[in-house]
Amino acid sequence: MSFSTQQLQLLFASTNKGKLAEVRQVASGAGITILSTEEVSALGKRAVPDVQENADTYSGNAKLKAEAFYAWSGLPSLADDAGIEVEALGGAPGVWSARYAGEPSDGKRNIEKMLAEMEGQSNRAARFTSFLFARVTPTKTLTAQCYLPGRISVAPHGSAGFGYDSIFIPQGYEKTLAEIKEDAALRSSFKTHRIMALEKIFPELSRALTDDALRTGR
């Protein structure tokens, strides 16, 4: 495969377009070009790996994806795993958030199941978790983790975003995350759990990518 060497480049190991947009939003300020799996696949004429996220921790799943895509592409690769943890449900669904209502993963069924289990609950405290794992070189890895506290709404509101965004109200707000993402003024200043984790990891990631580029000429 052939890639431009004009800028620092990083493969984001996910096919989720919502997540990709958030990563590119932060990376642009760090001078890093984010490559999608589709772009790398098209250039190399190889199918995107289907990584089984079967670890029981966020860190384990993020590591599985980053390592698999690094091996596949030969490029520094960043992966994330995220989930929602509800206090009244003992921290569930957590790492199993995407498959909460079973296979195949279905966002609508996940929300319906959660709202049914939360019916009548007065304690609606919850938080989103994002864990990032970057494989930069064969010997260099970086990680970051951040949380977004809030609560579960009694019904879905808003259509922007993905996952549980339409039933999660961030702390300090009266709108769901989906509604915030629909509002241009709110969206421009709001930081999701993923954006906070990205801002945490990108300064060191930029330095590591620069060191690697100088060492390899990539």
Assign residue 145 the CATH number of its domain.
3.90.950.10
CB 182 within 8 A of CB 160: yes
Categorize the per-residue pLDDT at 181 as very low, low, confident or very high, splitting at 50, 70 and 90.
very high
Among 191, 208, 185, which residue's Cα sits nearest to residue 77?
A: 208
Average pLDDT score, the chain? 93
Taking the model in full, what pTM does it have? 0.91
Expressed as residue numbers, the domain containing 148 is 8-216
Work out how many domains the chain is built from and give that number: 1
2 within some domain: no
Residue positions annotated with a catalytic role: 81
155 within some domain: yes
Residue 6: the pLDDT is 52
1 within some domain: no
Nearest 10 degrees: Cα torsion 125, 128, 129, 134: -170
pLDDT digits (tens, 9 = 90+) for 22-57: 999 899 888 899 999 999 999 887 889 999 999 999
Residue 1 has pLDDT above 50, yes or no: no
3 within some domain: no
146 within some domain: yes
Residues of the chain with pLDDT > 90: what percent? 83
